[in-house]
Amino acid sequence: MVFTFLSPDTPWRVHGRFPAAVPYRREPPGVRGPTGAGGVRCWQDGGVRARPVSMSSLTEELADRIAAAPRDSWVRVAVDGAPAARPGELADALAGPLRLRGREVLRVSAWDFLRPASLRFEHGRTDPDAFYEDWLDAGGLTREVLAPLDPGGSGKVLPSLWNTATDRATRAPYVTLPPGAVLLLDGALLLGRWLPFELTVHLRLSPGALARRTDPELRWTLPAYERYELEAEPAETADVVVRVDDPRHPAVVVG
């Protein structure tokens, strides 16, 4: 498998669901590889080359790439990953650097666009297939957040839709974003749903790291993430893949 850190000029694409791939297997221990472009040292793990970065450097690189997008249209960015990968923290960290680069930013979490409990728990509270297929209100997320930021859209976005604690609508007010503004959306299992983004970032955990770092009360979700790897292939379809087995030492996968 070849994973690529695409150039800033790569056009956006809708990330759809793909047929199941070959069974996922854990990579063998990594070995140091040759230096990459610009003399940057990369390491290689089971044929996958990755470039170590600090989290601050990763944030600045992503902010530069996002800010380089045309300013006459909106930029929709997805930061995808299991809760153990902390996608919300990276999305939060991007907001400040983007504002310093002259971009207005709206932070939205996919966890505020879940379906009502009666639909999420129709097959029980710990059904991994329901978690994968039924929890996210992808239609509501598209209608209220992503579609208004299509070219020629209204720019009128609903920051949150459903409060899972109260199981009621949040009744949040709409926000109108000017052209050139950036939407930073974090969440899990976002790819493979035909959601339109200009940039997708996938925070990848190996199966072992995912199991170790997942809260014991959420371990029932692990089969959903295994299925996600097979069906959506996020490490191949995301524009940027970052390995975060050790959150202190992320590494950008390079082609």
In a domain, 49, yes or no: yes
Residue 42 confidence (pLDDT): 53
In total, how many domains does the chain have?
Answer: 1
Amino acid present at 120 = R
Please check whether residue 10 lies inside any domain of the structure.
no
| Within-domain flag for 13 | no
The answer to whether position 139 is within a domain reads yes
In a domain, 47, yes or no: yes
CB atoms within 10 A of CB 16: 12
The reported pTM is 0.83
Q: Residue 52: in which H helix or E strand, if any?
A: strand 48-52
Q: Is position 22 within any domain?
A: no
Give the span between the Cα atoms of 44 and 10, in whole angstroms: 25
6 lies in a domain?
no
Is residue 204 a contact partner of residue 25, using CB atoms and an 8 Å limit? no
**Crossing angle for the helix pair 55-67 and 87-100, to the nearest 10 degrees:** 60
- What is the predicted pLDDT for the residue at 28? 36
The answer as to whether 227 is a domain residue is yes
- pLDDT value of residue 75: 98
For 135, counting Cβ atoms within 10 Å of its Cβ (0-12 exposed, 13-18 middle, 19+ buried), the class is buried
Judge contact between 80 and 200, C-beta under 8 A. yes
User: For residue 224, what is the domain's CATH number?
Assistant: 3.40.50.300
Q: What domain range is 203 assigned to?
A: 40-254
Joined together, the tokens standing for residue 190 give 């976002």
Mean pLDDT per segment of 10 residues, for the chain of length 255 residues?
35 41 33 42 63 96 98 97 98 98 98 97 97 98 98 97 97 97 98 97 98 97 98 97 95 90
Tokens 């191949």 correspond to 236
